[in-house]
Amino acid sequence: MAEATGYTKDHEWVRVEGDTATIGITAYAAEQLGDVVFVELPDIGKTLKQGEGAAVVESVKAASDVYSPLSGEVVETNGALEESPQTVNEAAEADGWFLKLKIGDKGELDALMDEAGYRDFVATL
């Protein structure tokens, strides 16, 4: 069971379990992108800083960076996306996750919105 889920204004979601954060893009972001055709994932062991580009997602419309909502070390990537990038469209906030980080600074979680805050933010777009 996830301890917490947070969201960024760049439309990433974070699900925290212990010292690990699973990161992906929101269903709203996936809908805006259109059909995802390619995903570029970071290398395992790479250290990311909060706000740094972590992955790239390409759709029929555009290519977009996926920014790391937290600082930490990449401990796992979702290799299934390389074979089936459409999973991002089908299940953006579940099986369509991009990477898992070993969290470097849990204090950074305070900068994230909760689900209600994110819904309110999207309503203004």
d(CA 70, CA 14): 9
Question: What are the pLDDT tens digits along the chain (125 aa)?
Answer: 457 799 999 999 999 999 999 999 999 999 999 999 999 999 999 999 999 999 999 999 989 999 999 999 999 999 999 999 999 999 999 999 999 999 999 999 999 999 999 999 999 99
Confidence (pTM): 0.94
Pairing verdict, β 47-48 and 72-77: antiparallel
d(CA 70, CA 106): 8
Inter-residue contact 35 to 89 (CB < 8 Å): yes
Cβ neighbours, 10 Å, residue 116? 9
Assign 9 to helix, strand or coil: coil
d(CA 125, CA 118): 11
Output the pLDDT for position 2.
56
Which structural domains are found in the chain, ordered by start?
A: 4-123 (2.40.50.100)
Assign 109 to helix, strand or coil: helix
